[in-house]
Structure 1
Amino acid sequence: MSRAVLLVLPTRTYRAAAFLAAARRLDLEVVVASDDASTLGHLHPGRELVIDLAHPEAAGARLAQLPDTERIGAVVAVDEAGVLYAASLAAALGVGGNSPAAAAATRDKAELRRRLAGHRLPQPRWEIWADGAPPPQVAFPVVVKPLDQAASRGVIRADDRRQLEQAGLRIRGLLASDQVCGSLPGAGELLVEEFVAGPEVAVEALLLDGELQPLAVYDKPEPLDGPYFEETIYTVPTGLHPELTSLVWKQLQEAVWALGLETGPVHAEFRLGQGAPRLIDLASRSIGGRCSGVLRFRSGASLEELILLNALGDQLPEVELEEGGSGVMMLPIPAAGRLLQVAGQELALEVPGVDRIEITVPVGGRIAAPPDGDRYLGFMFAHGTDGPAAAAALRQAHARLRVEVEPLN
């Protein structure tokens, strides 16, 4: 069996260290495809591929840069930005992967909605708001979203037509200011979907030959009611009733079949407020940021190790979570500007159950909360007897932090 894996590692990813560490633990050779050449690339020739993530159709031609491509047994996108390119690379190499069309459906929220509608799967009511057109006629409240963004960027709730118009202007202005997004065809199209009140959960799974291997349901104990949707706390294990959990997994299996996904990680979001779960979003990648550290499996394997083993077709170790609860907080950003410091970390770490704090923005770095920002300030991890106990520790520790931001002129 080939023991080399090609990792698609966008320059701005949070996930590089975790995947590279997983590959080392599994004794895998790593070939890196990235949108920027490493300064140390000359030290390991044949193990680095410079790519343009905006042009996945060129993946086959770019492979000519690599010698001995037959040694590569799998291609893995470490995050959302690399999903389309990874699918094209896998197809060109003839190794297991999702078809480019299936991967594309997870990156385009309009196509995702169309596929789900075609299979009559539960989801919010939705409309596409074309650029330059008046807002669609909808029942309020609604949520307005760009078609291809993550981390709650550009996601705004609107409770009436005036707010809908204002949300459209703000989101389109945000996208137009982005050098990449603003240049893409159809960048001004927006998704306007029904706001589904009630709790929200996320799920983590692996796919092999189209069949789901459930890994975790994450509870989100903080309300996500808008007008913006900054994610904060995820906890495991879930407190959902087993019957509702089974229904979530059943709907996710039907959704991946509807999209034509066959392999790799799946991360999805469900709202639970109106009887049956309704799928809010689905991505063919694992949980973002550094949040995978919240999952602690009895086998001792990391989520990234499971993803790599699954991609290579190896047998997975035990995927049951350890006893007890754990949680991660994506540290909220209090204001836009330049980060001066995150004070109080030593005091926060004294809270029982708090494991570690990872600040991911350097001092002087620019930050902005959703819907404008697309970067995390940092992550805090905790454990407890169950998910609610871990969440309580995170809240207590967060109250001891002081994020100082210099406003931009």
Structure 2
Amino acid sequence: MSVRRDAWHGDGGGAGRPPRLVLVLPSTTYRASDFLEAARSVGAEVVVASDGSQAMAETMGAGALTVPVDDPQAAGQRIAAHAATGPIDAVIGVDDRGVRAATVAAEQLGLAHNPLAAVTAAARKDRQRAAFAAAGVPQPAVAVVGGQGEGALPAFGGSSEDVAKAARHVGLPCVLKATTRSASQGVIRADSPGEAAGAAERIRRIVAAAGDDPGQPLMVEAFAPGAEVAVEGVLHGGELEVLAVFDKPDHPDGPTFEETVYVTPSRLPATALAPLETAVAQAAAALGLREGPIHAEARVDVDARRVAMLEVAARSIGGLCSRALRFGAATSLEELLVRHALGLRTDRARRELSASGVLMLPIRQRGWLAGVEGVETARAVPGVEEVALTVTPGQELVPVPEGNRYLGFAFARGATPADVEASLAQVQQALQVRVQAGVASA
């Protein structure tokens, strides 16, 4: 385990031909256009592997490949077989659904990749926690309910009484989580054993509604005090380069944990950032991750000088949030990741000097979107660069913890993190969301 703070260098790319890149883009991803633009910016030939590639066929032509993204072995084999049409220099899975397929393909093609076991462990919260515990990574006290505990994790039965026992075991308040969901879906804080039992039942309903196994184990972990942060990084042969640390100034403390504002650079003192970066590197190593992007979440108790790792994902930041990051003059996170995957040289990995941030527009009321007013006012706020709505009128709105998406994203830049935070607060005040209850109109 180590932390790397210098920019990366590579000499990749095939002699006499443009590099060829496969992007595994599930049809539900927000990130297709940003990765496609990044690939074009480095002159790469792009093959899009997607479960919805028919929709891209007109624009991608021969560059569209239909694969069963949710069957990583079959998808990876199909991508690897596509090398018969020409050499493939890199495969990138852009979000959780595509990462394992990309890993299988890269392994079969002999490209740099993470071990499949590491990527699989990163997709399951219980396996992450067991790996962290075995490696001594700092984390909250944790237990598993309703299933066999991974590794040495304490395990309890699935009854309401068992959930209450698990809550007492880890300490109150506690947080209950589904093991396989993301984006704050199925994450609920409980302040008593009875609340924990009720939260477990609610999470099982959420998991079932999402098409997952409602009998899967659930996590019960002690609520960790301190500031919650997100860390964006990239691994180079096991060395972590930290690209950005985001503060979450809205302090998500429950009972649900919707994400709202991310701002970078972090305002944590250097005495807190150094152990944070070390803990993230330890967590990635504990999972066996060695190559490519990671996105980590942690709590930092500055007063107690304590870091508690919450999770590490084997991908970059989700949604459109990466647009809050620029490196050098105007290099996107996606371009850095494409360059890294292709082995192309870059000296531009240092984040821009200005502060920046993103507001994930939360869904606060269940129903169907009737419209959003004040968008132009929000776009005119000083420092705001973009307001992008990702839900259209007539679509259903489901707040967390049942839901797992946002109304849209707003991006701002400024001289200081406080300036950015103020701009994003004005955006939130300017937007008025109209929600229609009942059945959506035709």
What TM-score, normalized by structure 1, do the two folds share? 0.95
- Give secondary structure in 1 for the equivalent of 2:40: helix
Matched residues in 1 for 2:299 and 2:398: separation? 26
Which range moves more in the overlay, 53-62 or 93-102? 53-62
Provide the aligned C-alpha RMSD in A: 1.7
- Give secondary structure in 2 for the equivalent of 1:52: coil
Question: Which one of the candidate residues 19, 22, 31 is aligned to 2:47?
Answer: 31
Question: Which one of the candidate residues 30, 33, 38 is aligned to 1:14?
Answer: 30
Partner of residue 188, structure 1 = 216
Which range moves more in the overlay, 126-135 or 208-217? 126-135
User: Residue type matched to 1:72 in 2?
Assistant: I
Sort the Cα spacing of 1:203 and 1:40 in 2 relative to 1 into closer, same or farther, 3 A.
closer
Which range moves more in the overlay, 186-195 or 100-109? 186-195
Instruction: Return the offset for 1:46.
Output: 4.6
Question: Which one of the candidate residues 170, 188, 206 is aligned to 1:174?
Answer: 206
Partner of residue 157, structure 1 = 189
- Would you say 1:282 and 2:312 are equivalent positions? yes
- Would you say 1:363 and 2:393 are equivalent positions? yes
Partner of residue 355, structure 2 = 325
Sort the Cα spacing of 1:70 and 1:277 in 2 relative to 1 into closer, same or farther, 3 A.
farther
Matched residues in 1 for 2:278 and 2:59: separation? 48
Sort the Cα spacing of 1:269 and 1:39 in 2 relative to 1 into closer, same or farther, 3 A.
closer
Matched residues in 2 for 1:316 and 1:350: separation? 35
Matched residues in 1 for 2:240 and 2:283: separation? 11
- Give secondary structure in 2 for the equivalent of 1:140: coil
- Would you say 1:241 and 2:269 are equivalent positions? yes
In the TM superposition, what whole-angstrom CA distance separates every residue of 1:309-363 from its partner, at most 9, and x where no partner exists?
1111222322222222111100121201111111011222222112220000011
Matched residues in 2 for 1:52 and 1:39: separation? 15
Contact 1:334 1:403 in 2 (8 A): no
Sort the Cα spacing of 1:84 and 1:67 in 2 relative to 1 into closer, same or farther, 3 A.
closer
Matched residues in 2 for 1:361 and 1:9: separation? 19
User: 5+ residue gaps in structure 1?
Assistant: none
Instruction: Return the offset for 1:40.
Output: 4.8
Matched residues in 2 for 1:100 and 1:188: separation? 21
Partner of residue 5, structure 1 = 21
Partner of residue 289, structure 2 = 261
Contact 1:129 1:191 in 2 (8 A): yes
- Would you say 1:117 and 2:139 are equivalent positions? no
Which range moves more in the overlay, 280-289 or 42-51? 42-51
State percent identity of aligned pairs. Answer: 40
What TM-score, normalized by structure 2, do the two folds share? 0.88
Matched residues in 2 for 1:178 and 1:245: separation? 36
Contact 2:299 2:309 in 1 (8 A): yes
Sort the Cα spacing of 1:81 and 1:267 in 2 relative to 1 into closer, same or farther, 3 A.
same
User: Residue type matched to 1:338 in 2?
Assistant: W
Instruction: Return the offset for 1:169.
Output: 0.8
Sort the Cα spacing of 1:153 and 1:318 in 2 relative to 1 into closer, same or farther, 3 A.
same
- Give secondary structure in 2 for the equivalent of 1:30: strand
Matched residues in 2 for 1:69 and 1:93: separation? 13
1:279-358 alignment, distance < 5 Å: 279-358=309-388
Sort the Cα spacing of 1:371 and 1:177 in 2 relative to 1 into closer, same or farther, 3 A.
same
Number of matched pairs: 405
- Would you say 1:251 and 2:279 are equivalent positions? yes
- Would you say 1:380 and 2:410 are equivalent positions? yes
Sort the Cα spacing of 1:234 and 1:64 in 2 relative to 1 into closer, same or farther, 3 A.
closer
